[in-house]
Structure 1
Amino acid sequence: VEDYILVVLSTQHRQTLTIDPAATSVVISDLQPSTEYKLSLTVSNGVHNITSPEVNCTTTDG
């Protein structure tokens, strides 16, 4: 694995994070309260990519 790519989508926001394979956690910043997001994770080995199904989540109020 060369890296992980996390995509965070909402109707008003798109954020792409490239994550080092050695990382054990990641902080997603700039999220808005009470907003639904779709997240997907892609694993890349440089030649091939595998992308997870999207996961829906909603942030809490403020």
Structure 2
Amino acid sequence: MDYAADSNNLKVFVAGRSDTGTWRAEEGGRVCFEFKVFPSACNDIRLVGQDVYARRANGDVVPVTVSR
């Protein structure tokens, strides 16, 4: 995912498909995504040491790659 600072320019690429939308941060480390085509969802984001993880709505925990 490619986040824009203004939250209005989210780009997602999954398995050769792409979508755009918006994101918002909520209390407690939750980030919610609203897409045009893909299903919208909220993920819990956690920092463990220097690693970032997301717990998806389906319960899967996945590492998050942070590009700087």
Structure with more contact order per residue of length (Cα contacts < 8 Å, sep ≥ 6): 1
Name the TM-score, length of structure 2 as normaliser.
0.27
Structure 1 length-normalised TM: 0.29
Higher strand share: 2
Bigger Rg, which one: 1
